[in-house]
Amino acid sequence: MGIPTTKIVELANHLYTKYQTRNPRELADALGVIIMPPRPFKSQKGAYKVILNNRFIFFKEDMNPVLENIVLLHELGHDQLHRDTASGIWNTKMISCDMTNNGCYLYVFNPDPAASAWSGCDQ
């Protein structure tokens, strides 16, 4: 499931060239991704969710502006690089990344708990 760093850099450069911005809010607007108001998450910093073909980013309240931008850009990365893995038979899907302990784990939520799954981003 891992995506080579070179592909991520190429995509980031392509988005910058196309939209002339690295501002995550401007990019989200240009890409049609809705950034929701901050949420009182306990430890999770952000989440990407598709509901009825509408794409949303949720993020933790009270983060410093630099971290907030990093999280928003990270979630936009899920939109651009992992959206297809969240599509399928589910009406609601959520992609979330836990970046604790220097690891990145992608969790795909499904209304059926048996169908939800963790996957290491670097596998």
Residue 63's SS3 state is coil
Map tokens 């607007």 to a residue: 29
State how far the Cα of 11 lies from the Cα of 31, in Å rounded to an integer: 13
Q: Which of 77, 90, 79 is nearest to 116 (CA)?
A: 90
> pLDDT per residue over 8-66, tens digit each?
999 999 999 999 999 999 999 999 999 999 999 888 999 888 888 889 999 999 999 99
pTM: predicted TM-score of the whole model, two decimal places: 0.70
Tokens encoding 103: 């690891």
Q: Where does residue 24 rank: exposed (0-12), middle (13-18), buried (19+ CB within 10 A)?
A: buried
